[in-house]
Structure 1
Amino acid sequence: MTGVHAAAKGRLTIDSKSANIPVTDMYWQVFRVADVPKGDTLELTGAFAGLPVKPDLSTEDGARTAASTLEAYAVAYGITPDFSAVASSDGTVTAENLETGYYLVLGEPLKDENGMYLSVPTLLCIADGGQYDNPDWSLDRTIVPKIRLISGAEYHSQTDRTVKKIWVNADKTPEIRVQLYRDGTLYDTQTLNDANNWEYAWSKLDNTSRWTLIEEQVPGDCTVSYTQQQVKSGKTYKEAFTITNTGSTTVVTTSRNTGSNNTGKLPQTGQLWWPIPLLVLGGLGLLALGWRITRKKRS
């Protein structure tokens, strides 16, 4: 799928004061990650091109997973944003003269006496909705981000963080290595394999930092996605990361198994099939000859 560039420029306003938890003075980063798509799959561009990621925007869950996955790489690789600024005292910041395309919006964690504010990563398209027949797109966008506040006892406590690897239509490699980042700095690397059931747990990590992770090297025939969520464990919560590798393997079924020896297979290259038409013609000739002899005897 080929992206389309338009000559028009766009504008994006981030209104964090109108968020579910209002914040001001948050540092915002805006990354152009893809051209304007013609379907539901993004073709990544710029610093994100070549990543083993195939964002699927056909569902809300897919869009959230794509945003979370691209955030993980932006943090781990220290990708330079196309625009960045601290929101003003009214909680807004505006990026001007943006090329059309898809953008990832990230807010840096903000800490104050109340705790730590975390923004949920957002993907959105800056484009002329009329030109692309999409009413959700516009050259002038305003978003109200979702904010999470870690405060009180939770902020000053420690939490276990786990990672689990899932394979989808992909051949497992002997092992993979997972890199855990603390506020964008590599904190630890662990190996997942069959011996540990493709899982690992870090115990008692602080809640005053932003924790993200990536797979060190994704198998060549796979794409990857990263998700994280809070999971209740007894009376406490832990943060669970999931790494999903999806392969490009396609299973094609040519016939149903009916219990017979008919496999439904087509002739294989090199198999000798040319005598069949001659045998068919010969059989028809013998039938015709037999019919003539029988008719002659009756007459």
Structure 2
Amino acid sequence: MKERTIVNRMIAACCALAAGIAAVCAFSTCDAVADATDSASGSIAIAYSHNSSESGTTIADADISLYKVGKVSSGANFKPIAPFTNSITYPFDWSTLTDKDAKVYRDAANTLAGLIALNKPEATQTGITNTTGNLTFSNVEDGLYLIIAGAVENDEYRCESANMLIAVPENGLTGGKRALNIEPKAECSMNSPATIQREVRKVWNDRNNSDGKRPDEVTVTLLRDGETYETVTLNASNGWKHQWNGLTDGHTWVIVETDVPDSYTMSVDQENKTTTITNSHTPQQPPHTGSNIEQVARIAVASLGGGIILLLLARGVRGTRDGKRSDMAGDK
């Protein structure tokens, strides 16, 4: 009878667990994620313009490349596809794309664009914007895409390159639109100078090098139109930064880290003429020394208390014995 009761309880527990899992999926994205094998094609319509407040802000004759860099995974996350699965040539932390913050995606786009400029993989599709700044990519499979718009210069303005990450279907979710319309903006100057400058800064995110894995120096490369222009070393003596002056305008200038240190990932933040490269490393968790000290202290206090009790008992016994001896002496 007892065995039957135990079996019934186990069956009930399993049913409850299954119901709980079903409930979690019902209220999460379990059914909201696009099928990774879904090959339905979509389109990306681009209306490219610059940030000028003047009229006629569309950018014509811009070379735009489309790279499929990832596929939709569970939980509306993304996993890289070849060649971006190579963590040596593409040391990018893909787990950061779970954050929906616009800055995270902007930094990710700049990081991947720099690595693409260095490694030169083949683009999925390419095109040129028309006189109204429009371009449409058709037959776009589901996935995560990087859009790279090259620099443009004409008699009116000089525009920097622009990078953007976008998912098909929209946000990587089932039911999301597959016919997407985007309006990327480029940093442009109406009267570009004859020369420009670029600056690179190195930032470390490794808990002040608590694991001791931070190298003494790193190398970064300045690319001009995708080709190596100059490689420099960053270290503590130069404040982990470098500035290039007198660079000829009319070229696409990109700064990348040449060799990312082992166990570190890289992210790039582009603000005007300054490129900030952050190397991140998660150190090993330190031992819980505080809890060990607390245990030792408790044992010491307990031992001290026990010693006091034993001392009092010993004195009590001695006192009793002395009393008995006195009584016996008196009886005599």
1:285 alignment counterpart? none
Give the TM-score, by structure 1 length: 0.74
Aligned length: 249
10-19 vs 22-31, greater mean Cα deviation? 10-19
Partner of 1:81: 123
Equivalent position of 1:139 in the other structure: 178
Q: Is the 8 A contact 1:110 1:117 kept in 2?
A: yes
Matching residue's letter, 1:160: Q
> Is 1:68 aligned to 2:84, yes or no?
no
Q: What is the alpha-carbon distance in structure 2 between the residues aligned to residue 263 and residue 157 of structure 1? A: 71
Q: What corresponds to 2:136 in structure 1?
A: 94
Of 232, 239, 252, the residue aligned with 1:197 is 239
19 and 8 in structure 1: CA distance in 2 versus 1, 3 angstrom threshold: farther
How far apart in 1 are the matches of 2:148 and 2:141? Answer: 18
Q: 135, 155, 164: which is aligned to 2:201? A: 164
Matching residue within 259, 268, 273 for 1:217: 259
Moved over 4 A (4+): 17-20, 255-261
User: Which has a greater percent of strand?
Assistant: 1
Aligned mates of 2:76, 2:248 — CA distance in 1: 38
SS in 2 for 1:121: strand
Query: Contact 2:51–2:188 at 8 Å: present in 1 too?
Result: no
> Equivalent residue for 1:8?
40
Tell me the equivalent position of 1:53.
92
**Aligned partner (choices 169, 172, 190) of residue 151 of structure 1:** 190
**For the Cα contact (< 8 Å) 1:161–1:240, is it kept in 2?**
yes
Structure 1 residues 199 and 263: CA distance shift in structure 2, 3 A: farther
How big is the alpha-carbon RMSD for the aligned residues of Structure 1 and Structure 2?
2.7
Distance 2:42 2:289 in 1: 52
2:73 corresponds to which of 37, 41, 44: 37
The answer to whether the Cα contact below 8 Å between 2:51 and 2:185 also exists between their aligned partners in 1 is: yes
Structure-2-length-normalised TM-score: 0.67
Alignment identity in percent? 23
Separation in structure 1 between the aligned mates of residue 70 and residue 170 of structure 2, nearest angstrom: 15
Q: 1:113 to 1:254 in 2, by over 3 A?
A: same
Contact 1:180–1:188 at 8 Å: present in 2 too? yes
| 1:112 corresponds to which of 132, 140, 154 | 154
Q: How does 1:243-282 map to 2 (within 5 A)?
A: 243-252=277-286, 254=288, 256=290, 262=296
Match of 2:58 in 1: 22
Aligned to 1:280: none
Please name the residue that 1:127 is paired with.
169
SS of aligned partner of 2:123: coil
Q: Kindly tell me: are residues 256 and 207 of structure 1, through their superposed partners in 2, closer, same or farther at Cα, counting changes over 3 Å?
A: farther
Which of structures 1 and 2 has the bigger CA Rg? 2
Structure 1 counterpart SS, 2:232: strand
For residue 168 of structure 1, what is the amino acid of its counterpart? Answer: N
Q: How far has the Cα of 1:41 moved from its partner?
A: 5.3
Secondary structure at the counterpart of residue 67 of structure 2: strand
Q: 1:247 to 1:18 in 2, by over 3 A?
A: closer
